[in-house]
Amino acid sequence: MAERKRTLKRTSFTGKRKVVRRRKKSRGHSLLLLLFFLIVISVASCTVAHPFSDEKETMVSVNTAIHHLFGEESSERDGKGTIGGRVEEVKKEPQSIIKEFMNRLKGGENKGSNGDGNNILTKREEKSPSDTRLKASAAKQRKPAEKKVGGNSSSVTGRLAVVIDDAGLDLESQRIYEEIGVPLTLAVMPNKMYTSEAAAEWSRYGMPVILHQPMEPVSGSGMEEKTILTSMSDEAIRYMLKESLEQIPQAVGINNHQGSRATTDARVMRVVMNELSHRGLFFFDSRTNTTTAADSAAASYGVPYARNDLFVDNSADEGEIRAMIQEGANRAKARGSYIIIGHCRPHTAAAFRDIVPQLQAQGIEFVYVSSLLRW
Task: Please tell me the least confidently modeled range out of 93-97, 196-200, 298-302.
Answer: 93-97
User: Do 200 and 306 share a structural domain?
Assistant: yes
* Closest alpha carbon to 161 in 138, 187, 135, 139: 187
* Measured distance CA(288)–CA(212) in Å, rounded: 13
If asked whether residues 259 and 336 sit together in one domain, one would say: yes
Residues paired with 283 in a beta bridge: 254, 305
Confidence bin at 26 (pLDDT 50/70/90): low
Residues in the chain: 375
What confidence score (pLDDT) does residue 199 get? 99
Please say if the pLDDT value at position 375 is more than 60: yes
Q: Bigger pLDDT: 319 or 98?
A: 319
Residue 205 within a domain: yes
CATH number reported for the structural domain that contains residue 156 in this entry: 3.20.20.370
| pLDDT, mean of residues 186-211 | 98
What was the pLDDT predicted at 365?
98
Domain boundary among 98, 121, 144: 121
- 146 within domain boundaries: no
221 and 275 together in one domain: yes
* Interior angle at CA 350, CA 345 and CA 356, nearest 5: 120
Q: Are residues 158 and 255 in the same domain?
A: yes
Does some domain include residue 181? yes
Asked if residue 116 and residue 162 are part of one domain, the reply reads: no
User: Quick check: is 5 in a domain?
Assistant: no
Number of domains comprising the chain: 2
Residue 348 in contact with residue 342, Cβ under 8 Å? yes
State which residues form the domain around 77: 11-121
Residues 111 and 187 in one domain: no
Do 84 and 159 sit in the same domain of this protein? no
Q: Could you tell me if 62 and 176 lie in one domain?
A: no
Say if 340 falls within a structural domain.
yes
pLDDT at 76 over 70: no
CA atoms of 164 and 368, how far apart (whole Å): 11
332 C-beta neighbours (distance < 10 Å), count: 27
Q: Burial, 108: exposed, middle or buried (Cβ in 10 Å; 0-12, 13-18, 19+)? A: middle
More confident residue, 138 or 276: 276
135 within some domain: no
Q: Are 215 and 67 part of one and the same domain?
A: no
- Which residue type does 374 have? R
Q: Given phi > 0 = left and psi -120 to 50 = alpha, else beta, which region is 355?
A: alpha
Assess if residue 247 is contained within a domain: yes
Residue 45 belongs to what H/E stretch?
A: helix 2-49
pLDDT of 7 above 70: no
Q: How confident is the model at residue 373 (pLDDT cuts 50, 70, 90)?
A: very high
- Domain identity same for 227 and 111: no
pTM of the predicted structure, to 2 decimals: 0.61
What percentage of the chain reaches a pLDDT higher than 90? 58
Task: Specify whether 160 is located in the same domain as 98.
Answer: no
Q: 210 forms bridges with which residues in the sheet?
A: 187
Integer Cα distance of 229 and 48 in angstroms: 85
Q: What is the mean pLDDT of the chain?
A: 77
The model's pLDDT over 271-317, given as tens digits with 9 standing for 90+, comes to 999 999 999 999 999 999 999 999 999 999 999 999 999 999 999 99
Contact 259, 294 (CB under 8 A): no
Judge whether 6 lies within some domain: no
Whether 324 contacts 313, CB under 8 Å = yes
pLDDT at 34: 72
Using a pLDDT cut of 70, give the percent of the chain over it: 60
Q: How confident is the model at residue 99 (pLDDT cuts 50, 70, 90)?
A: low
- Between 353 and 106, residue with greater pLDDT: 353
Same domain, 293 and 200: yes
- 260/215 Cα distance (integer angstroms): 8
Q: What is the structure's pLDDT at 107?
A: 53
